[in-house]
Structure 1
Amino acid sequence: MTSSARALQIAITTGEPAGVGPELTVQALADAATRWPDARFTVLGDARLVEQRAAAVGADWARLVASGQVVLAERALAAPAQAGRLDAANGRYVLALLDAAIDGALAGEFDAIVTAPLQKSTINDAGVPFTGHTEYLAERTHTPRVVMMLAGTGAKPLRVALATTHLPLKDVSAALSVDGLVDTLRIIDRDLRRDFGLAAPRILVTGLNPHAGENGYLGREEIDVISPALARASAQGIDARGPYPADTLFQPRYLADADCVLAMFHDQGLPVLKYATFGEGINVTLGLPIIRTSVDHGTALDLAGTGRADPGSMIAALDTAVTMARHRRASA
């Protein structure tokens, strides 16, 4: 980073206070100066909670703050938090962290936000209807369509995006449309170019039904919806191919030249992705006006405060957020 370049500003929400988010945040930042010298990190959370969890896992929080690369944006808990024990009194506290990060990113204060896991039930028990991070981010940023993409790390990462997210399986077919799939492919293509530096992304698309519908014998969604959407996307310059049977698509020989797989529903694509990358995978919300990454796991209440939780996914989420912010700055 040159002396005149502004450091990238990354916000981190520490998530559910009874979960592993606070300690994973501190652990992931331990080598920040070496990993991300061009970035500065704002941790949103309760100061006492972060200090306690850092001490519990042997992390040197005081050194991080003294370095000047990490600062704490204090948001006080509504009630004392105990590792592994949920308390609905802190449901609105968790949302306050997320709101502060979103507002800061929309205002240009943050170049990206990274979210530690939260507990949906705690927020709902606090009286706030809540489906998940992805849907909340879309609502708060007034984004009509977002795309959930999970990804591994490495030189050739496996990326899996979803055409639908948290829906009952019986509702998936009705949620698919030609226009919706074209919009989804357009978002994936644009964000892979802008935020991941891919000049010509190649997207492989699954069918919905077994054997991609078997020419209509096992369902017509491939014929009536998915194939027309691919034809329209291709006409717009998007390299999207398929539909392919999901049970055979996830093989190295097919994925070797692919930059992303678009799966039709949550449990069609994510079991494969998580089997291949769990502990080092990340979640990225495409289509937003801001950059958001997250871990690929939940709150791990049984591991909170023990020091046994692996910070690998949080490190990967931070690394991806910084990389995306660098690309977006360069393309601005």
Structure 2
Amino acid sequence: MFNLIATCAAGIESLVKRELTDLGYEVQAENGRIRFKGDGKDIAKTNLWLRTADRIKIVVTEFDAKSFDELFDQTTAIPWDQYLPMDAEFPVEGKSQKSTLHSVPDVQAIVKKAIVSSLSAAYHRHTRLPETGAKYPLEVAINKDHVMITLDTTGSSLFKRGYRVEKGNAPMKENMAAALVMLTNWKKDMPFWDPFCGSGTIPIEATMIARNIAPGFNRNFAFESFQFLDDNLAQEARDEADSLADYDSELEIHASDIDGSMIAIAKRNAEEVGLLDDIQFKQVAIADFKTELSGGVIVSNPPYGQRMGEQEKVHQIYKEMGKALAPMKDWSKYFITSDLDFEKYYGQKATKKRKLYNGAIRADYFQFWAERK
């Protein structure tokens, strides 16, 4: 059994916690990460299934250290040969906050030296370790003199699902798009619409949720080359995930955008993941938006207007949104934007707001709940 953490963006820890709990794990939530325990099978399962997390990491060791000698000695004490083969490539990333050992390059160098010392003794090496084999990404993170050394089992962040063959300007990460959908009251038997779909990330993630398709199904992970884990874990997890997918339910998922070239890109991305027939794409401006469907949910990432001179244009779009969507009183509507004056131009006060981060940008999630009958 390993001590594991699922890392995530600030503000969505509760979603990752819920996902892990639904998968059957006992969890402990902290800022930017959720702790849980599991074996190799669990490493494969959580990498494959978590929609809102960034990475799954093994916590190799934790201790307190205020000197480089303490850092070196306690790192060396770990039996690193149980994790790293003799030829392992093991880059060491680092970060330090509010700690005596504040120089990150020095911290990285000391930890690297300590691991080399441990491995050299274990493998009886008197020359430099080759580092020509599989990669084992390590990180040393120090916060208030507490050291945590982790081994990343994921590789490229979990938001990289593998289906986005093209993207437009300011694309939303796939795990954030999934988070936006999961923060709504939408169920797969309800209509869903994204009127600013861009490259299609939000409707594609919604469809994957509705179809119960594992988000990591079409990608590889770092742990697949770890020698201390079974070679078959990833394939067994994929086979199980494939058996759990729902390809039969009728869905009413729509995506539209004013830009025809973005609709074409969104279609290519949906086709890459095998969901083109599940999403109805249409080129339409928000001012012309209308639907006969009822009781649905809108989730969208409208333009922000970050650059000088764009605000006036964006505010006009928000006004058009409010006017076009006002008749849809039995729809719930959810919009993420960094413009905190969104409600003023949209023309309605949100039922609820939630602070999130779209990448490095602080953004509020404005929620307008459907009127109850």
Normalised by the size of structure 2, how large is the TM-score? 0.26
Q: Which has the higher helix share?
A: 1
Q: Which has the higher strand share?
A: 2
Normalised by the size of structure 1, how large is the TM-score? 0.29
Instruction: Answer with 1 or 2: which has the greater Rg.
Output: 2
Which structure is higher in RCO with an 8 Å CA cutoff and minimum separation 6? 1
